[in-house]
Amino acid sequence: MKKACTGVLGGSFNPIHFGHIELAVKAHTQFDLPEVLLMPISMSYYKDLSVLTESAQRLKMTELAAAECGPGFLKCSSLDIDRGGMTYTCDTIDELSLIYDEIFFIVGSDSLMYIDKWKNAGDFLKKCIIVYAKRDGDTPDELLKKEEFLKENFRADIRRLEITNHPISSSQIREMIRKGEDVRGLIPRSVEEYIRDNNLYK
Protein backbone atom coordinates (compact mmCIF):
# COMPACT_ATOMS: atom_id res chain seq x y z
CA MET A 1 0.00 0.00 0.00
CA LYS A 2 1.28 3.47 -0.88
CA LYS A 3 1.94 6.16 1.69
CA ALA A 4 -0.34 9.21 1.55
CA CYS A 5 2.05 12.04 0.68
CA THR A 6 5.51 13.51 1.05
CA GLY A 7 7.41 16.68 0.35
CA VAL A 8 10.68 16.51 -1.57
CA LEU A 9 13.48 19.05 -1.55
CA GLY A 10 16.44 18.12 -3.71
CA GLY A 11 19.73 19.89 -4.15
CA SER A 12 23.48 19.51 -4.14
CA PHE A 13 23.47 20.52 -0.43
CA ASN A 14 27.14 21.47 -0.71
CA PRO A 15 26.68 22.28 2.15
CA ILE A 16 23.06 22.32 3.29
CA HIS A 17 22.19 25.64 4.99
CA PHE A 18 19.33 27.35 6.80
CA GLY A 19 17.83 28.62 3.54
CA HIS A 20 17.25 24.99 2.53
CA ILE A 21 15.94 24.14 5.98
CA GLU A 22 13.41 26.98 5.92
CA LEU A 23 12.03 25.77 2.58
CA ALA A 24 11.47 22.31 4.04
CA VAL A 25 10.03 23.48 7.36
CA LYS A 26 7.67 26.02 5.78
CA ALA A 27 6.43 23.43 3.27
CA HIS A 28 5.81 21.03 6.16
CA THR A 29 3.71 23.58 8.07
CA GLN A 30 1.99 25.39 5.19
CA PHE A 31 0.86 22.24 3.38
CA ASP A 32 0.51 19.98 6.44
CA LEU A 33 3.03 17.47 5.09
CA PRO A 34 3.73 14.50 7.37
CA GLU A 35 7.35 14.44 6.15
CA VAL A 36 9.76 16.28 3.88
CA LEU A 37 12.55 14.34 2.21
CA LEU A 38 15.86 16.17 1.89
CA MET A 39 17.44 14.53 -1.15
CA PRO A 40 21.05 15.26 -2.16
CA ILE A 41 21.62 14.87 -5.88
CA SER A 42 24.19 12.50 -7.31
CA MET A 43 25.35 14.73 -10.16
CA SER A 44 23.61 17.55 -12.02
CA TYR A 45 23.91 18.60 -15.65
CA TYR A 46 23.72 22.27 -14.65
CA LYS A 47 26.14 22.26 -11.69
CA ASP A 48 29.93 22.66 -11.76
CA LEU A 49 30.99 19.13 -10.87
CA SER A 50 34.51 20.28 -10.04
CA VAL A 51 33.29 21.84 -6.76
CA LEU A 52 30.82 19.07 -5.84
CA THR A 53 31.87 17.45 -2.56
CA GLU A 54 31.82 13.67 -2.33
CA SER A 55 28.30 12.23 -2.24
CA ALA A 56 28.76 10.40 1.06
CA GLN A 57 29.85 13.61 2.79
CA ARG A 58 26.97 15.68 1.41
CA LEU A 59 24.58 12.90 2.44
CA LYS A 60 26.02 12.84 5.97
CA MET A 61 25.69 16.63 6.32
CA THR A 62 22.08 16.39 5.17
CA GLU A 63 21.36 13.62 7.70
CA LEU A 64 22.85 15.75 10.47
CA ALA A 65 20.77 18.78 9.43
CA ALA A 66 17.56 16.73 9.32
CA ALA A 67 18.17 15.30 12.79
CA GLU A 68 19.04 18.69 14.28
CA CYS A 69 16.43 20.89 12.63
CA GLY A 70 13.36 18.74 12.10
CA PRO A 71 13.36 15.49 14.06
CA GLY A 72 10.27 13.50 13.26
CA PHE A 73 9.33 15.10 9.95
CA LEU A 74 12.59 16.04 8.20
CA LYS A 75 14.11 12.94 6.67
CA CYS A 76 17.15 12.39 4.50
CA SER A 77 16.84 10.31 1.35
CA SER A 78 19.75 8.78 -0.57
CA LEU A 79 17.52 7.87 -3.54
CA ASP A 80 19.31 10.03 -6.14
CA ILE A 81 22.78 9.18 -4.85
CA ASP A 82 21.99 5.45 -4.80
CA ARG A 83 20.74 5.63 -8.40
CA GLY A 84 24.02 7.27 -9.44
CA GLY A 85 24.84 9.13 -12.62
CA MET A 86 23.13 12.36 -13.57
CA THR A 87 20.16 13.34 -11.42
CA TYR A 88 16.96 14.02 -13.38
CA THR A 89 13.76 15.02 -11.62
CA CYS A 90 11.67 12.82 -13.89
CA ASP A 91 13.49 9.69 -12.66
CA THR A 92 13.14 10.75 -9.02
CA ILE A 93 9.41 11.43 -9.35
CA ASP A 94 8.88 8.13 -11.19
CA GLU A 95 10.45 6.21 -8.30
CA LEU A 96 8.63 8.16 -5.62
CA SER A 97 5.30 7.71 -7.43
CA LEU A 98 5.56 3.99 -6.66
CA ILE A 99 5.69 4.80 -2.94
CA TYR A 100 3.49 7.89 -2.46
CA ASP A 101 0.03 8.88 -3.68
CA GLU A 102 0.88 12.58 -3.59
CA ILE A 103 4.27 14.29 -4.00
CA PHE A 104 4.96 17.94 -3.21
CA PHE A 105 8.12 18.85 -5.12
CA ILE A 106 9.74 21.96 -3.60
CA VAL A 107 11.75 24.39 -5.75
CA GLY A 108 12.90 27.99 -5.79
CA SER A 109 11.27 30.37 -8.26
CA ASP A 110 14.52 30.42 -10.25
CA SER A 111 13.92 26.74 -11.03
CA LEU A 112 10.22 27.30 -11.69
CA MET A 113 11.10 29.72 -14.49
CA TYR A 114 12.64 26.96 -16.62
CA ILE A 115 11.14 23.78 -15.17
CA ASP A 116 9.29 23.13 -18.42
CA LYS A 117 12.71 22.69 -20.10
CA TRP A 118 13.72 19.85 -17.77
CA LYS A 119 13.90 16.30 -19.07
CA ASN A 120 10.42 14.77 -19.55
CA ALA A 121 8.79 17.77 -17.89
CA GLY A 122 5.40 17.00 -19.39
CA ASP A 123 5.44 13.62 -17.69
CA PHE A 124 6.65 14.47 -14.19
CA LEU A 125 4.56 17.66 -13.91
CA LYS A 126 1.48 15.43 -14.04
CA LYS A 127 2.76 13.27 -11.19
CA CYS A 128 3.55 15.87 -8.56
CA ILE A 129 2.50 19.19 -7.07
CA ILE A 130 5.06 21.94 -7.60
CA VAL A 131 5.63 24.10 -4.54
CA TYR A 132 7.81 27.13 -5.19
CA ALA A 133 9.31 29.89 -3.09
CA LYS A 134 10.01 33.32 -4.55
CA ARG A 135 13.68 34.18 -4.86
CA ASP A 136 15.15 37.65 -5.17
CA GLY A 137 15.26 38.71 -8.80
CA ASP A 138 12.00 37.10 -9.91
CA THR A 139 9.10 39.57 -10.07
CA PRO A 140 5.51 38.65 -9.09
CA ASP A 141 4.34 39.39 -12.64
CA GLU A 142 6.93 37.05 -14.15
CA LEU A 143 6.02 34.29 -11.74
CA LEU A 144 2.28 34.68 -12.28
CA LYS A 145 2.81 34.49 -16.04
CA LYS A 146 4.92 31.33 -15.62
CA GLU A 147 2.33 29.76 -13.33
CA GLU A 148 -0.39 30.38 -15.91
CA PHE A 149 1.80 28.97 -18.69
CA LEU A 150 2.52 25.76 -16.78
CA LYS A 151 -1.11 25.30 -15.80
CA GLU A 152 -2.41 25.88 -19.33
CA ASN A 153 0.23 23.88 -21.21
CA PHE A 154 1.05 21.10 -18.75
CA ARG A 155 -2.02 21.06 -16.46
CA ALA A 156 0.48 21.50 -13.64
CA ASP A 157 -0.58 22.03 -10.03
CA ILE A 158 1.53 25.02 -8.89
CA ARG A 159 1.43 26.39 -5.34
CA ARG A 160 3.26 29.30 -3.74
CA LEU A 161 5.30 28.87 -0.57
CA GLU A 162 5.70 31.87 1.71
CA ILE A 163 9.25 32.19 3.05
CA THR A 164 11.81 34.74 4.19
CA ASN A 165 14.50 35.20 1.56
CA HIS A 166 17.96 34.01 2.60
CA PRO A 167 20.55 35.81 0.46
CA ILE A 168 23.29 33.35 1.40
CA SER A 169 24.17 30.47 -0.92
CA SER A 170 26.19 27.28 -0.57
CA SER A 171 28.90 28.69 -2.82
CA GLN A 172 29.21 31.76 -0.58
CA ILE A 173 29.41 29.55 2.50
CA ARG A 174 32.17 27.46 0.90
CA GLU A 175 34.11 30.63 0.13
CA MET A 176 33.65 31.93 3.68
CA ILE A 177 34.97 28.65 5.09
CA ARG A 178 37.92 28.74 2.70
CA LYS A 179 38.76 32.22 4.02
CA GLY A 180 38.36 31.14 7.64
CA GLU A 181 35.29 33.34 8.20
CA ASP A 182 32.57 32.60 10.76
CA VAL A 183 29.57 30.72 9.32
CA ARG A 184 27.63 30.34 12.57
CA GLY A 185 23.94 31.05 12.03
CA LEU A 186 24.14 30.11 8.35
CA ILE A 187 24.35 26.33 8.70
CA PRO A 188 23.24 23.91 11.45
CA ARG A 189 25.76 23.50 14.25
CA SER A 190 26.17 19.75 13.59
CA VAL A 191 26.96 20.47 9.94
CA GLU A 192 29.47 23.15 10.94
CA GLU A 193 31.21 20.66 13.24
CA TYR A 194 31.27 17.97 10.52
CA ILE A 195 32.83 20.40 8.04
CA ARG A 196 35.48 21.38 10.57
CA ASP A 197 36.23 17.81 11.65
CA ASN A 198 36.59 16.65 8.04
CA ASN A 199 38.47 19.73 6.84
CA LEU A 200 35.99 20.39 4.02
CA TYR A 201 36.04 23.39 1.68
CA LYS A 202 39.60 24.42 2.52
Mean pLDDT value across residues 170-194: 97
The CATH number linked to 100 is 3.40.50.620
Indicate whether 200 belongs to any domain: no
- What letter would DSSP give residue 36? E
Indicate whether 12 belongs to any domain: yes
Tens of pLDDT, residues 89-145:
999 999 999 999 999 999 999 999 999 999 999 999 999 999 999 987 789 999 999
Indicate whether 114 belongs to any domain: yes
Indicate whether 111 belongs to any domain: yes
Indicate whether 202 belongs to any domain: no
C-alpha distances (whole Å) from 106 to each of 1, 31, 122, 131 are 24, 11, 17, 5
Q: Model pTM?
A: 0.94
pLDDT beyond 90 at 167: no
**How many domains are contained in the chain?**
1
- At 156, the pLDDT band (50, 70, 90 cuts) reads very high
C-alpha distances (whole Å) from 157 to each of 111, 126, 165 are 15, 8, 23
The pLDDT value given to residue 52: 76
Q: Which domain holds residue 158?
A: 3-195
Indicate whether 201 belongs to any domain: no
Indicate whether 88 belongs to any domain: yes
Tens of pLDDT, residues 28-75:
999 999 999 999 999 865 555 566 789 999 999 999 999 999 889 999
